Structure 1
């Protein structure tokens, strides 16, 4: 049985002989269900091999329908529309909320897998991590988002990946893979499928530098906003803000934002 509720099932039945996959989520557009897709698909698939699987939520309309749609997409390599129509053919009232539909589309875009280095997926996970810290009142990053924090470039054996160094002390700060591009004057949105392609095909802005969080940013996973200081010489190199984001000189606002001041860092050629 797959139970996707904001609270666990009440103790009204003997579930000792039933395997339960429990996902505590609300039926809200900003809720992160995508992170559970792979685990839920594997659970349903295993249950199907053993017998039957009940997938449910409070109304049986949005959360449970999203997981069943996801399962059909993965198993039969279907599009969101094809899989959802198959579910609706059995239960006409189903209708995932707009956020869950966007997550299903992203899952389809990634080839029915969670691709960690996919830029659109990175934008999604940053937004979900911010919601976890801000909306849910948490002050520490949820464990499931910890791998968003990138390794300190000073610990990397290959300096060819270094994109920017501190202008004051020349210490490596940013690897090329850490950079989050954006278009001039345009705030990137995770649901925009153009970010699933190669960013070098887009006309991106180079006035401001934004990145994923990096391990040398000591307070970034436990405080909602602050300044970024070079880990070697302590010169101020930027700012971060999980809630309000940071502004680029081009007019774009990146939320959450980890912004580097261009005059404080040097690009490596």
Structure 2
């Protein structure tokens, strides 16, 4: 199992890592290897987000979630102020396969870079 690090695409600030957070696929299963990173579900639909478990969050994300009263809000890189994701504990959006609810916290793939160590 390799360690995963998610960094801001603009300033390379480490936003999350598998050492401190649980990085999930769209079915809330932890991503443990690179074979499950590209596609989600069994539909081979390209996923646009990285999801994080709400039980183990970096402090900067936890602060945004608490400020938003665990409802909805944007996630802004604490280093350069780029919007990198959001959280939504209200809507309960479903995965493209229509079988599972998406995890509530996500980082947008086009705004972040992922590194495998």
What TM-score, normalized by structure 1, do the two folds share? Answer: 0.30
Pairing 1:79-158 to 2, within 5 Å after superposition:
none
Paired residue for 1:216? 60
- In the TM superposition, what whole-angstrom CA distance separates every residue of 1:193-246 from its partner, at most 9, and x where no partner exists? xx6xx8659966272210023311222024211000111001000110112145
Corresponding residue to 2:80 among 233, 252, 267:
233
CA change 1:237–1:246 in 2 (3 A) is farther
- Equivalent residues in 2 for 1:257-268 (5 A)? 257-268=104-115
Q: CA deviation at 1:162?
A: 4.8
For 1:232 and 1:244, locate their aligned partners in 2 and report how far apart those are by CA, in whole Å.
Answer: 29
Question: d(CA) in 2 for partners of 1:246 and 1:232?
Answer: 29
Quickly say closer, same or farther: Cα 1:165–1:220, change in 2 above 3 A.
same
Q: Larger strand proportion, structure 1 or 2?
A: 2
Higher RCO by CA contacts (8 Å cutoff, separation 6 or greater): 2
Q: Is the 8 A contact 1:165 1:266 kept in 2?
A: yes
Instruction: Give matches, 1:4-83, under 5 Å.
Output: none
Determine whether 1:181 maps to 2:25. Answer: yes
Superposed CA RMSD in Å reads: 3.3
- Structure with max Cα Rg: 1
| Greater helix fraction, Structure 1 or Structure 2 | 1
Query: What does the per-residue CA deviation read over 1:24-64, in whole Å, with 9 as the maximum and x for residues that have no partner?
Result: xxxxxxxxxxxxxxxxxxxxxxxxxxxxxxxxxxxxxxxxx
Distance 1:239 1:221, change over 3 A: same
User: Residue in 2 aligned with 1:164?
Assistant: 6
2:91 and 2:105 map into 1 onto residues whose CA distance is 11
Contact 2:26 2:95 in 1 (8 A): no
Structure 2 residue runs of 5 or longer lacking an equivalent are 41-45
Give unpaired runs (5+ residues) of structure 1.
1-159, 189-194
Shift of 1:178: 2.2
The two structures have a TM-score, normalised by structure 2, of: 0.63
